[in-house]
Structure 1
Amino acid sequence: MRSVLAPSLSLPLAATLLACGLTGCASRDEAAGRPDLTRYYDQEISWEPCSREQDRTVRDETRNAGRTAECARLTVPHSYDAPGKGELRLALMRYRAADRDHRLGSLVVGFGGQGASGLGQLGARGPDGFGKAAARYDLVTFDPRGAGASSPARCGTGDGLPDARGRDDDADGAAELADRIDDRARALRDCAERTGPVLPYLGTVHAAKDLDVLRAALGEDRLNYLGYAQGTRLGAAYAHRYPHKVGRMVLDSVDDPAPDLRRNALARTASYQKALRHAVEICTRRGDEDCILGSDTDRAMETVTAAFNRLDEHPLPWVNGTTLDRDAAVTQTMGLLRSREGLPEAPNLLAAIVHRLRPGEAAHMAREAVARAGGKDAGDRAGAPSVTAAVNCADTRSRYTADQVAAAYDDFVEASPVFGPALAAGMAACTGWPQAGDDGAHDVAAPRAPKILLHTPEFDPATPVAWLRRMARALGPSAVTMTDTGGGHGVYGSSDADCVNEKVDAFLLDGRLPADRTRCT
């Protein structure tokens, strides 16, 4: 059994540092007389096949994980400052390294998707979805507190909360959106009673402390970490608080380190529009003979916008006996834009919508891309709204009323006539949430951390490439940035991202970093 000592203030500084170096103390805070967290840092994880898991949520999350997936639990306190206030058990999952003779340790994977299950996303990708890392690392993930099988936030009844998306870009869209936001805010206020005592202890700061307990329980002196999207903010928060415990860290599709709901929702809306134009240009560059959308990108974009508006009144017959209305078209298009492999099929999906054609392979790929991204409401609308709020609202003080969202509605439509009506609701994600936000997680400066590799595609729809630069500035000299000229979201491990995979693999496996501001083509 590993032993972790909580050094007292009376120890000389040198002895305190030596004790922490040998035992893996939780943080510098413990040397300043913080509560004793030894029992959490002394845990040993008991892994067993996920197929034996009794928890229904874990079984559902890992149903596609395969027989080699292993599951476990990790106990953490509600509050690290007052551990007597209660505990929760984080759901864990891993795939063991394929080449155990040359194993490098554990690589903890932190996923995005605004509260979506880490277990579900690792299981959906499988070990083959992580480049060469799966050969030499145990791939480990978790459901963060407040999500999945880790004391999830609960609000309302059934699947969660009323939808809060606008209908379209006509004059009634803003008013309808405001009404739906009011309904959802009333439901969110019910979360405090239904979620229980863990509610005040959600958010990135607490999750970063959970990561350090996980590092110790895995027997690692340093945390090797791969974060996607929102998981990049968690990785940065860890580096800020535990710079001397950072191992090889990669942040892919980098999130904004200091989120504000209005600013972020508008930036993401514009980024989806940019990615849509990129997808259209993939087609129009081939010319009239090879592109059913034509050869004029501006005209094609106007045609696509009109086709989406037409779906409000005239849905299309679609795959498996379904119909494609505007909301379904937006969801499926977003799914393809987020998927590196699915992106080339986006023009075909758009052509089917524009010309009202019988759906072909693009429609099926769109559904699969959405499923891979986390379900029907994946990506920016991932998971039940209660889980989305639980994971995000602790990290920002920004709160906007329904009237403020309605007043900004035209700005969203201007940023993207196609996606703006749907994404405007992101500004109201925390309206009605019963806990005040804390901007403390926004400070991610980590000048004493080792080098951290950051990557975002230039046409990433969900995490604009500008956020890469914001995060790099916030981290400081530890940040090494990389972009590529393609699209998609969460690119490392994708089958058609050779340059990105090669450079990330070189860092994770051999510690070789690319030059700062490398651009893959």
Structure 2
Amino acid sequence: MPRRRASISVGAMAVVCTLALSACAVGPSDRPAVAHDGAGAGGPGQPTTSAPQKPIPPLTEPQDSALSWTDCTDTVNRKLGGVNGLRVGCAKLSTTLDSPTRPGRGSNRVQLTKIGDGKQPLVVLNDALGEPGSLYAVRLAGQLPKEILDVYHLIGVDRRGTGDSDGVRCVNQPSRTAMVGFDPAVTDAATLGQLLDTTRDAAQECMLDLDEQLGAYDTWRTANDMNSLREALGVPRLNAVARGDASRVLTAFAERFSNEVGRFVLDGSPDPSVDAVGQAEARASGLKDTFAAFTADCATRGCALGAAPDQVVTAVLDKLRAQPVRGARITFQAGTALRAIAAGLADRLRWPELADAIVKARDGDVSGLESFVIPLWNGPDRDMIRLDGGLVTTCNDTTTRVDPARAATLAQEWSAKYPIFGAMSAHELAWCMPWPVPAQPLPVPRAPEAPPMLVLGTEKDAITPLPGTTKTAEALASAVQVNWQGAGHGAFAKSACVNEASRLFLVEGKAPTNGTVCPP
């Protein structure tokens, strides 16, 4: 049995438009359909649709669920940091661990939440390093239109190894601090070697703690958990929405269980055509573009960052580089601050708060930034640490390993191409260097037998940039892509236009026009 250490506790955590959609068969269109905001004299119009080349599966009557739900509203409200008025149920699903050394054996527990009264279950998944799906689903339920919630109840899922799904807690606190706080300006191999020493310590701790379980925490096996969940929910096909890298869980599911695919919404996705290096560069590019959108928004609002937010960020990093500052729970170094800013860029609704936090940090007060980055160390309880489970999943999903010399070369190149965030993205490649290499990476999604999927792209996405999402849609044999001209991370439930496309697909089983563009 693997050894378990006691976790170190750090403390408690962290529009109206209507689609002008015309129908089309699934596949590329000659030109994008542009959705308008319905402000003209004629008012909003009703979209028209036609059947795609492959039928979208019908919604069928669910059978009795094998899951036992208990009310956990108060617990979830505490974790979310406030009351949202929704009743929440919690359940655990037992699945097979299926580690590489013990295939088909072992047990794994998956944490679930249930929100809403609609008859059909809609499974919700989130990024491995993001908010656990059990909580993300509760937030989502407060944002989705009534037309969707009348049909579906949401099932939030903590991916294996994350959140309360036997959450991985194997990286010691000094290693977490050093990895997250590492100076984002470093571009030389010798100093990057220090980061490698830290990640080696983290990998050794996790290999010791998890033992033969280590290789079981990946996206491919999480897809099998989703099939077990489908069976427990009593439905012949799984209906689901996944944000960011969680979309890979659904594409892996479609590869493995094509006959059980229902209505899938992929809300952003990493580029499946490139390796980890290509994906890291894409994130650097996405952060650069999202920061530009943040800067423009700041200028429009007249925020306290002034005319040059990039200079203020640089000043904050320089100050922390010279003298780290202790926050309420953690010590801030330059890397800590930049990761907090990156996390804030991904949450469009919190941009005003982020701007104020950066200004305060310039003046020596890091409390505002701390709320953005603390979940990497600790969530509302010790089980919600995001870094550990996200790190294990990320390293198990790729065969790419980057040594300090190559990481230094990439850091030099990317710091020139993507100021502020380029080198930091290169550094993250070194995190997986000491980890065991999996037998094979995730396959490029094809899913030739699966029904159409709705792929949502965000023009300026800080985590899964639009080009990668488009590559995913192009790789799939049957997909419809709708792009939102917004910023942050993900488009689902972010605009009335996207909501209407989602309603057409999820509720009516109709495909919106491939290439439709929704305004910001």
> TM-score of the superposition, structure 2-length normalised?
0.75
Q: Does 1:74 align with 2:83?
A: no
In the TM superposition, what whole-angstrom CA distance separates every residue of 1:440-486 from its partner, at most 9, and x where no partner exists? x223112222211111211111111111111012212x111111211
Matched with 1:442 is 443
- Once the two structures are superposed, residues 284-328 of structure 1 have per-residue CA deviations (whole angstroms, 9 ceiling, x without a partner) of 468xxx576666xxxx36634643443335679999899976345
Equivalent residues in 2 for 1:313-462, closer than 5 Å: 313=321, 326-343=334-351, 364=368, 374=375, 383-439=385-441, 441-462=442-463
Aligned CA-pair RMSD: 3.8
Residue 320 of structure 2 corresponds to residue 312 of structure 1 = yes
Q: 1:448 to 1:270 in 2, by over 3 A?
A: same
- CA distance, structure 1, for counterparts of residue 246 and residue 341 of structure 2: 23
Counterpart residue number, 2:18? none
Look up the match of 1:14.
none
2:195 to 180, 184, 190: 180
- For 2:151, the aligned partner's letter is R
**Aligned residues of 2:454 and 2:482 also touching (Cα < 8 A):** yes
Say which SS state the counterpart of residue 160 (structure 2) adopts.
coil
Q: 2:268 aligns to what SS in structure 1?
A: strand
Tell me the CA shift for residue 92 of structure 1.
1.8
Provide the residue aligned with 1:45 in structure 2. 67
Counterpart residue identity of residue 72, structure 2: C
Counterparts of 2:506 and 2:282, CA distance in 1:
31
The CA distance in 1 between the partners of 2:81 and 2:485, in whole Å, is: 35
Alignment of 1:107-506 (within 5 A): 107-114=122-129, 117-123=132-138, 125=139, 127-132=141-146, 133-158=148-173, 161=176, 163-165=178-180, 167-168=182-183, 175-257=190-272, 260-284=275-299, 290=302, 300=308, 303-304=311-312, 306-313=314-321, 326-343=334-351, 364=368, 374=375, 383-439=385-441, 441-476=442-477, 478-494=478-494, 497-506=495-504
Q: What is the distance in 2 between the residues matched to 1:167 and 1:486?
A: 31
| Deviation of 1:342 (Å) | 2.1
1:377-402, Cα deviation, whole Å (9 max, x unpaired):
89xxx945432232122221101123
Could you tell which deviates more after superposition, 324-333 or 510-519?
324-333
In 2, Cα distance between equivalents of 1:302 and 1:503: 36
> Alpha carbons of 1:170 and 1:227: their partners in 2 closer, same or farther (altered >3 Å)?
closer
CA contact (8 A) 2:397 2:438 kept: no
Give the direction of change, closer, same or farther, for the CA distance of 1:252–1:201 in structure 2 (3 Å limit). Answer: same
What amino acid is the match of 2:285? A
Q: Hey, what's the Cα distance between the residues in 1 that align with 2:422 and 2:143?
A: 31
Mapped contact 1:398–1:437 kept (Cα < 8 A) = no
Deviation at 1:80? 9.4
Relative to structure 1, the CA distance from residue 277 to residue 474 in structure 2 (aligned partners, 3 Å threshold; closer, same or farther) is same
Partner Cα separation in structure 2 for residue 172 and residue 235 of structure 1: 36
Choose which of 86, 101, 111 in structure 2 pairs with 1:91: 111
Return the match for 1:511 from 509, 512, 520: 509
CA deviations over 1:91-147 (Å, ceiling 9, x no partner): 2221132xx5xx3x1000011143753224334x16213343334312112222222
Q: Secondary structure at the match of 1:198?
A: helix
Q: Aligned equivalents of 1:51 and 1:283: distance in 2?
A: 36
2:285 aligns to what SS in structure 1? helix
- Structure 2 residue identity aligned to 1:420: G
Return the offset for 1:276: 0.8
Helix, strand or coil: the match of 1:483? Answer: strand
Closer, same or farther: CA 292–343 of 1 in aligned 2, 3 Å: closer
State which drifts further: 455-464 or 156-165. Answer: 156-165
Gap runs ≥5 in structure 2: 1-59
With over 3 angstroms needed to count, the CA separation of the structure-2 counterparts of 1:162 and 1:347, relative to structure 1, is closer
Which protein, 1 or 2, shows the higher relative CO under an 8 Å CA cutoff with sep ≥ 6?
2
Q: Is the 2:317–2:337 Cα contact (8 Å) retained in structure 1?
A: no
**Paired residue secondary structure (1:190):** helix
**1:20-31 correspondence to structure 2 within 5 Å:** none
Q: Which moved more, 1:329-338 or 1:342-351?
A: 342-351
SS at match of 1:341: helix
Q: Per the alignment, do residues 324 and 470 of structure 1 end up closer, same or farther by CA in structure 2, a change over 3 Å counting?
A: same
Deviations 1:22-64 (A, max 9, x none): xx9xxxxxxxxxxxxxxxx9982111223699xxxx9986886
> C-alpha distance in 2, partners of 1:318/1:50?
34
- In 1, the alpha carbon distance for the partners of 2:437 and 2:305 equals 48
Q: Which amino acid aligns with 1:466?
A: P
Q: Which amino acid in structure 1 is aligned with residue 122 of structure 2?
A: L
- Contact 1:305/1:417 (8 A) holds in 2: no
Offset at residue 279 of structure 1 (A)? 1.6
Q: 1:109 to 1:230 in 2, by over 3 A?
A: same
| Contact 1:316/1:325 (8 A) holds in 2 | yes
Quickly say closer, same or farther: Cα 1:403–1:174, change in 2 above 3 A: closer
Structure 1: which amino acid aligns with 2:490?
A: G
1:10 aligned partner: none
- Structure 1: give runs of 5+ residues left out of the alignment: 1-23, 25-40
For residue 518 of structure 1, what is the amino acid of its counterpart? T
Q: Is the 8 A contact 1:507 1:513 kept in 2?
A: yes
Contact 1:394–1:438, Cα closer than 8 Å, also in 2: no
Distance 1:116 1:358 in 2: 25
Q: Secondary structure at the match of 1:129?
A: coil
Question: Is the contact between residue 121 and residue 153 of structure 2 (CA under 8 Å) also seen in structure 1?
Answer: yes
Counterpart residue identity of residue 507, structure 1: F
- After superposition, the Cα gap between the structure-2 partners of 1:156 and 1:512, relative to the gap in structure 1 and judged at 3 Å, is closer
- Once residues 143 and 84 of structure 1 are traced to their aligned partners in structure 2, the CA distance between those partners, rounded to angstroms, is 21
Contact 2:411 2:424 survives alignment (8 Å): no
Is the partner of 1:443 in helix, strand or coil? Answer: coil
Q: Aligned-pair distance for 1:229?
A: 0.6
**Number of positions where the alignment pairs a residue of Structure 1 with one of Structure 2:** 452
Q: Give me the whole-angstrom Cα distance separating, in 1, the residues matched to 2:136 and 2:255.
A: 26
Contact 2:199 2:432 in 1 (8 A): no
State the shift of 1:170 in Å: 5.3
CA–CA distance in structure 2, aligned partners of residues 190 and 306 of structure 1: 34
- Distance in 1 separating the partners of 2:244 and 2:128: 7
